[in-house]
Structures are given as structure tokens and as C-alpha cells.
Copies of this chain bind each other. A is one copy, B any other.
């Protein structure tokens, strides 16, 4: 398929670089300042070098990438809360042209699910967002195949950085501030890690799952999630858990239209007690028991690979 990629950070660049090995052509690539468009296929390497050297992707305005010739828009701009703009506008523009959208940005489906669904229903294009929930394994289409009314609940560890920090705290018996400084030194954590450690990212995933599961097509946003992060957990709480053969994880849970993010204790051998930067999503399926997908929190390249596998799942619109 011809791809237009909106967002030219680490993930967008990786999608552009790997696209041809998946049989796709990049016909447009944009960041928030400019775009390059070429119906014959963008010269990805030279564009990435130009952006690195000059900060500029191309000579066209950003919006040109939204109106280029493509079958699938890969939307990988940074998450925004509130009205999830400009991501939602990008999604709508692609759908109006009967193009598919694959999201690497959780905002549009976490914050404005109903709007996105209504626009998708009126379009030949589909909006796909498996990769932001479970990577290359399609949890959301499994929910669809099984029937959402048979999913009793979903829970898991959705954020790899928060899990890395908690694992380190438990293993070393040291406090949050100390392991955060260590992770920042190693380049694992941003200078401002609040999006990960205060539960915002986990809450966005909860909102997406609740939207997909809702039998009444009720709309959920992050406002509907009860959120508690990991910054207030004392090292002593982890020690106490350890003495009981238990451990603490930042769990996201969706059940009976209740959405919750909070540190919870789990048995050491629970399939939810993933270690290091691993994440896990567990479905509780009526008559099929519990099924979970575990993976390492993706690097930019890994998320790009999952997004391209997701493009491969879509039929030509």
C-alpha cells in the first residue's frame, strides 16, 4: 500500500525506513512543520538525513501529507489529552478520503472514541489501533472474534517504564527517587517521567479497552479512570510484599465499566507479575479462561514493526 506517515520522530522515521521491506511505499512524510510528498515514493534516507541536519522534512506544508495519494495513514504524532488534537483531525481527514488509519498515538481512541467510530462508519477506510495496546499480537480483533459480551474483564501492566522502576525498587529494596535517577542516567526515562509513572499512559490504555468493550457504545475518556501512580510507594511496602511471596505492579483494569489504575500486590508467580520493561495484557474470556499477551515494552523500531504488521492486516480500501 501507499503510506502517508504523520509524525517524523523516532517511530515515524522507523516506519518510513522499514516500510519497503513490508512491500509498502511511503508517498508522504510530515512532522508538525513541513512535509515531503512524492507519488513515486519518497527517498526516505535522504529525508531523514535532511531532517537530522536542518530540522526540516521537506518543502511542502505539513498538511500536504494528509492530502497526498495514499491508502493508509500512519499517525504517530505525540499523544495529546483533552480533545486529542491534532491527531483527531488527521484521522478525520484520512477517513474523508476513504483511506485507512493505523494509530501509534493513543489519543484519538482514548479520548474521542465515538467521534472516530462514527467517522469510520461513514468511510471505506478503517481505523486500526492494535499496536498501541498489545504490539504485534492482535488483542482487539480477538475481542471482536470472541464477542465483546464474552469478555468479563481486561487487566495488565501496560507501561514498561513504570514496571522497570517497580521491579528495580523491589529487587534492590530502594526507593522511587533513587531508581528513577538511575533510569534517567541510563537513558530509559525522560527528564519528566510523569506520563509513565503517574499512570496517565496506563489510564489511556484503560480508556481504549473500555471503549472497545462497552456493550452500550458508551464513550470513555481518561476522565473516567481512577488513577494512582507509583511515585508514592515507599520501599518498605515492597519489602513487606516480598516477605509474603508477593510483589507490587502498576495494574490497569477494566471491568463492569469501572476503569482503574493503581499499584496492586500480586503473587510472585502470577502471570501479571512481569519483570523489567515487560508489559502484559490479560483477557478474562467467558468459557475460555484467562489469556494473556506478554512482551517487552517496544523500542521505536519495535513499535514501527508492529504498526507495519498492522498495516498488512488491512485490505486495500
Using a CB–CB cutoff of 8 Å, the interface residues on chain A facing chain B are 18, 22, 135-139, 141-142, 145-147, 150, 269, 271, 273-275, 278, 283, 285-296, 298-299, 301-302, 304-306, 309-310, 312-313
Contacts and interface: CB of A to CB of B under 8 A. Distances in A.
Give the 5 A-B CB pairs with smallest separation, nearest first.
A288-B305, A291-B295, A145-B309, A287-B305, A146-B309
A303 to B, nearest CB: 9
Nearest to A289: B296
A312 B143 CA distance: 11
Nearest to A134: B291
Contacts of A135: 288, 291
Contacts of A292: 293-295
16 contacts: A22-B147, A136-B145, A136-B283, A136-B285, A137-B291, A138-B138, A146-B312, A269-B275, A271-B294, A288-B305, A288-B309, A289-B295, A289-B299, A291-B295, A292-B293, A292-B295
Given A293-B137, A302-B288, A305-B146, A274 B275 contact: no
Nearest to A146: B309
A213 to B, nearest CB: 15
Given A145-B310, A289-B298, A289-B302, 12 more contacts: A135-B291, A136-B288, A137-B137, A146-B309, A147-B312, A269-B273, A269-B275, A271-B294, A287-B301, A288-B305, A289-B295, A290-B295
Contacts of A275: 269
A11 to B, nearest CB: 12
Given A295-B291, A295-B292, A296-B289, A138 B142 contact: yes
Contacts of A310: 145
A292 B282 CA distance: 12
A273 to B, nearest CB: 8
Given A288-B302, A289-B295, A137 B147 contact: no
Contacts of A141: 138
Contacts of A286: 305
Contacts of A294: 271, 291-294
Contact of A291 (B136, B150, B287): B136
A237 to B, nearest CB: 20
A309 B142 contact: yes
A279 B136 CA distance: 19
Nearest to A276: B269
Contacts of A274: 271
A309 B301 CA distance: 31
Contacts of A296: 289-290
Contacts of A302: 287-289
B146 A142 contact: no
Nearest to A293: B293
A80 B286 CA distance: 30
Contacts of A298: 288-289
